[in-house]
Amino acid sequence: MSKPILVAVAWPYASGSRHLGHLAGAYLPADIFARYHRLIGNDVAMVSGSDVHGTPITVRADAEGVSPSAIAERFHAEFVDNWERCGIKWECYTSTGTENHARVTQEMFMTLLEKGHIDKRRSEQFYDEEVGRFLPDRYVEGTCPHCGYTDARGDQCDNCGRTLDPTDLIDPRSKMSGSVPVVRETEHFYLRLSDFADQLGEWLDSRVGWRSHVLNFSKGWITEGLHDRAITRDLEWGVKIPVDDLGPGKRIYVWFDAVIGYLSAAKELSERRGEPDLWRRFWQNPDAESYYFVGKDNVPFHAIIWPAMLMGNGGLNLPTNVPANQYVTFKGGKASASRGVGLTIGEGLDMFEPDSLRYALAASFPEQSDSDISIEEIARRINEELAATWGNLVNRVLSMIHKNHDGAKPATGERTAEDLQLLATVEELLAKEAKQIESVELKAGLRTAMDSAQAVNIYLNATEPWRSAKTDPERSATVLTTALDAINGVRVGLSPYLPFSSAKLDAILGEPTGWERVDVPDGTPIPKPSPLFPKVDLEALEADL
């Protein structure tokens, strides 16, 4: 039975390059999960897009003397290139800059407004008269009233760590122009989040299979008390507010529209495929499932705010699961492209083969807790695990068959209990891995697939087909065909993780028929193999840095 699976992935912010932490935290796990579900025949819609609005983009645009859209287009193009290069496969990758997205956002805004979940409130905020802009808290700097630190930001003091209100700052100044900001009154729309506290709490309590850190954090938010949130900003760069009673110069704020992107992207997919009701299969069918792949910093948006918006709107499916990952750290520090910690996705792909990088990151997915990686650790994973266990296994079996059997799979003789046991083991591990992937334990799933490869290595060492080739060629042939038939199952389990090398094997062994092990037909041509994964020369790599 084909089940609709919405794979919703955090919208990368087009203000700069994304790094390997983002790849390991959201995009790669989503891709592995989606590839698995496509392979078992489910109806998958993996959607996301570049988040192109917001203040940081306008600030960067000003700094470079270009338009905000130029910044957004530059990084959107970079992201699309990143996905292409590392095999992140989407049903729909779009951006928040489309006309469709604006319309869907405005529709949901109006629905929430009409149902009384959005209202207007006045507040006071700093305004930079020099650049003519209201200032987000973090763009106001000044002296911390607690510790005297002179470069405290309006939201928080980096020195003493205390949370601040911009008006607390002594000698406030605008980060944009350096001038002294003035306080002006402004009016905005607010989402009445607090109205949903009870409903959200009950919903979260009913979740099963969610990661404990996601539930803990979300419930903690509710326990502390949900604040109503402003969902519009004094900004020219964003989705227009569909009512005009706030006056000009206001836009819908990015976090409000970015999550709506999951819905608008599904509708865009419908349009692209010419099936107007396609999106309903994912959003209104009670049997559909939805998984939101995000980093832990995004948990409140996906486990609290977005569900509240969906509850308020009505008629749309709530998340099945939000399998948020924790952080990947680089040598102990939080990855940050802007601070030069870790590698951008592009840099990672320049250094490593895409499948090799995917393997190393997947083996280190921060599913339970933060995980630490480094270039050395990535290289170790590739050389000592991926190439040694799996790459070498494929190479040794294909080489022997190619050399000893005229480049084609020989006929299989009588299989011994040992032979049958290997094939059974591969099948059992495939089943075990399937359960792990379905419960989004992707790191464990990869380990299971590697266990399967190791089982074949153990089998070969026990049966020694290179030896029997001289004494009992028929037995040797049977061992090799058994190993090949086993490999044919192992590669199915690895295919969601390693799409590029899997495609290479598809060319020899044929496309996978599904999530199952099948025998390779007798006589299948087996060409002289080349290593699936080149070894990483760490010294040469570091010499380039």
Residues in region 100-159 near RNA by CB under 7 A: 123, 125, 135-138, 154-156
**Of 501, 505, 445, 506, residue with least CA distance to 37:** 445
Select the residue interacting with RNA from 98, 100, 320, 389 (CB under 7 A).
389
Nearby residues of 244 by Cβ (< 8 Å), 6 or more positions away: none
Calculate the CA 241 to chain-centre distance. 30
The stretch among 52-60, 61-69, 100-108, 314-322 that binds RNA (CB under 7 A) is 52-60
Instruction: Compute the least distance from the CB of residue 255 to RNA, in Å.
Output: 5
**Of 474, 493, 479, 397, residue with least CA distance to 436:** 493
Q: What is the Rg, in whole angstroms, of the alpha carbon atoms belonging to the chain?
A: 27
| Of residues 33 and 390, the one with the C-beta less far from RNA | 390
| Of residues 85 and 535, the one with the C-beta less far from RNA | 535
Select the residue interacting with RNA from 392, 416, 468, 524 (CB under 7 A).
392
Select the residue interacting with RNA from 11, 83, 90, 292 (CB under 7 A).
11
Q: Which of residues 469-498 bind RNA (CB under 7 A)?
A: none
**Of 167, 146, 185, residue with least CA distance to 154:** 167
Beta-carbon neighbour count of residue 29 at 10 Å?
27
**Of 514, 328, 362, residue with least CA distance to 436:** 362
Select the residue interacting with RNA from 38, 103, 380, 504 (CB under 7 A).
380
Binding flag, residue 220, RNA (CB under 7 A): yes
Spell out, one character per residue from 300 to 339, where the chain touches RNA: x when CB under 7 A holds, - when not: xx------------------------xx-x--xxx-----
- Return d(Cα 135, Cα 129) in angstroms, integer: 10
Q: CA torsion sign, 192 to 198 to 204 to 207? A: negative
- Return d(Cα 108, Cα 112) in angstroms, integer: 6
Q: Total residues contacting RNA (rule CB under 7 A)?
A: 87
Select the residue interacting with RNA from 5, 34, 429, 532 (CB under 7 A).
532
Q: Is residue 274 classed as helix, strand or coil in its secondary structure?
A: coil
CA dihedral 162, 165, 166, 168 (to 10 degrees): -80
Tokens matching residue 81: 């290139």
Q: Which of residues 244-263 bind RNA (CB under 7 A)?
A: 253-255, 258
Instruction: Compute the least distance from the CB of residue 275 to RNA, in Å.
Output: 29
Binding flag, residue 210, RNA (CB under 7 A): no
Instruction: Compute the least distance from the CB of residue 232 to RNA, in Å.
Output: 10
**Burial class for 294, CB neighbours closer than 10 Å (0-12, 13-18, 19+):** buried
Binding flag, residue 79, RNA (CB under 7 A): no
Q: Which of residues 398-437 bind RNA (CB under 7 A)?
A: 399-400
Select the residue interacting with RNA from 205, 208, 314, 369 (CB under 7 A).
369
| Of residues 1 and 471, the one with the C-beta less far from RNA | 471
Instruction: Compute the least distance from the CB of residue 215 to RNA, in Å.
Output: 8
Q: Which of residues 440-469 bind RNA (CB under 7 A)?
A: 443-444, 447, 454, 457-458, 460-462, 464, 466-467
Q: Is residue 210 classed as helix, strand or coil in its secondary structure?
A: coil
Instruction: Compute the least distance from the CB of residue 532 to RNA, in Å.
Output: 4
Instruction: Compute the least distance from the CB of residue 38 to RNA, in Å.
Output: 26
Select the residue interacting with RNA from 174, 264, 325, 371 (CB under 7 A).
371
**Burial class for 359, CB neighbours closer than 10 Å (0-12, 13-18, 19+):** buried
Tokens matching residue 362: 């997947």
Q: Which of residues 171-190 bind RNA (CB under 7 A)?
A: none
Binding flag, residue 355, RNA (CB under 7 A): no
Select the residue interacting with RNA from 213, 415, 432, 504 (CB under 7 A).
213
Binding flag, residue 396, RNA (CB under 7 A): yes
Instruction: Compute the least distance from the CB of residue 114 to RNA, in Å.
Output: 23
Quote the strand ranges of 331-474, DSSP E.
333-334, 371-373
Instruction: Compute the least distance from the CB of residue 449 to RNA, in Å.
Output: 13
- As a three-state string, the secondary structure of 93-142 is EEECCCHHHHHHHHHHHHHHHHCCCEEEEEEEEEEECCCCEECCHHHEEE
Spell out, one character per residue from 263 to 302, where the chain touches RNA: x when CB under 7 A holds, - when not: ---------------------------------xxx-xx-
- Return d(Cα 354, Cα 343) in angstroms, integer: 14
Instruction: Compute the least distance from the CB of residue 197 to RNA, in Å.
Output: 10
End-to-end C-alpha distance for the chain, whole angstroms: 51
| Of residues 276 and 333, the one with the C-beta less far from RNA | 333
- Return d(Cα 327, Cα 25) in angstroms, integer: 7
| Of residues 43 and 168, the one with the C-beta less far from RNA | 168
| Of residues 253 and 291, the one with the C-beta less far from RNA | 253
- Return d(Cα 105, Cα 257) in angstroms, integer: 6
- Return d(Cα 460, Cα 466) in angstroms, integer: 9
| Of residues 5 and 400, the one with the C-beta less far from RNA | 400
Select the residue interacting with RNA from 201, 413, 473, 534 (CB under 7 A).
534
Instruction: Compute the least distance from the CB of residue 424 to RNA, in Å.
Output: 17
Binding flag, residue 368, RNA (CB under 7 A): yes
Select the residue interacting with RNA from 180, 230, 316, 518 (CB under 7 A).
230
Instruction: Compute the least distance from the CB of residue 285 to RNA, in Å.
Output: 28
Residues constituting the chain: 545
Q: Is residue 536 classed as helix, strand or coil in its secondary structure?
A: coil
Select the residue interacting with RNA from 62, 187, 370, 427 (CB under 7 A).
370
